[in-house]
Amino acid sequence: MRSVKILTDSCSDLMKELRDQYDIDYARMQTVYEGKEQWASLDFEYYTPKELYDIMRAGNRILTTQVPPVEFERIFTKYLDEGCDIVYIACASKQSNSVFTGMKVAENLLPKYPGASIYCIDPLNACAGEGILAVRAAQYRDQGLSAAEINEKILAERNNVNEFVTVHSLTFLKRAGRVKASKAFLGNLLGVKPILIADANGAQVPITKAKGRQKSLEMIVSLLKEKFDNPEESVYILHADCKPEEVEFVRSLVEKEIPCKHIYIGYMGPIIGASCGPDTIGVWGFGKEVTYRFEG
């Protein structure tokens, strides 16, 4: 059987620790600031997290791009040349067209590699939700599953990823066109913090609100607790340069409230960060099926 390479992209915010552990690579998107394009590195090679988010705190906008075709050509060719089949876990198609670009590039490349296959998967998730599906795909690979079998498994499990995120406001997400919201959420009421999920279609949607920052942090953990149903799964906490005491508060609350195998903590990278804005924080984990679909 052919070896399998698992790929994701800059939207996955998959920390280096896990990419190295599970032998996962990623296709790079780009940021655009003051007319300059820069690769969106998950290891913050070009900005530190503080530098990135301070740009936004100062009122500046950072634009983002999908994965360019040339980047797909680079990374697909690299692993096809090594004799690998490829499973690419993309950003949700509701939030990026990268999965479709990947499909097109794969279609053009595969005739040159008889017997090879590339699966481009819409995971219906972004950020850590996308990343943990890439980890799950790598675990299946390590169990000996083929690329085709991994594709089937991930498609069957993608709605079991649960995300609960709180932002200070919807301003950045609305500006980036990354959030679906009813009129009730469009205004930023003083002190009210929206809670967002990835719905069953992969759209980023607010589902409820909390009064005040601490209540919102408590709520995201409480909501994940309701969905989390397997202590052998891990919880992932990602944040956009939040105060250390806030990150620690969420970590300690998860540790107290949710029996789990491990708690991973990392930064939201340049693509997700540019869309959601500084001080965003969220929790992710596999659990009960996501069934909510935004209508509007």
In tens, the pLDDT along 215-261 reads 999 999 999 999 999 999 999 999 999 999 999 999 999 999 999 99
pLDDT of residue 185: 54
Q: What is the largest CA-CA distance in the chain?
A: 59
pLDDT of residue 69: 98
pLDDT in tens, 146-157: 999 999 999 999
pLDDT in tens, 130-139: 999 999 999 9
Q: Which two tokens stand for residue 194?
A: 């929206």
Q: What is the CATH number of domain 3-158?
A: 3.40.50.10170
Mean pLDDT across the chain: 93
Strand partners, 282: 165, 238
Residue 191 pLDDT more than 90? Answer: no
The 3-state DSSP class for residue 286 equals: strand
pLDDT in tens, 22-55: 999 999 999 999 999 999 999 999 989 999 999 9
Q: What percent of the chain has pLDDT over 70?
A: 93
Tokens 């969420």 appear where? 250
- Asked: is 159-286 a CATH 3.30.1180.10 domain? The reply is yes
Residues 6+ apart with CB under 8 A from 159: 124, 200, 289, 290, 291
pLDDT of residue 231: 97
Q: Which of 30, 35, 96 is closest to 60 using CA atoms?
A: 35
pLDDT of residue 168: 79
**What residue ranges do the domains of the chain occupy?**
3-158, 159-286
Query: CA angle, corner 48, sides to 60 and 72, nearest 5?
Result: 85
Distance CA 88, CA 195 (A): 29
pLDDT of residue 254: 98
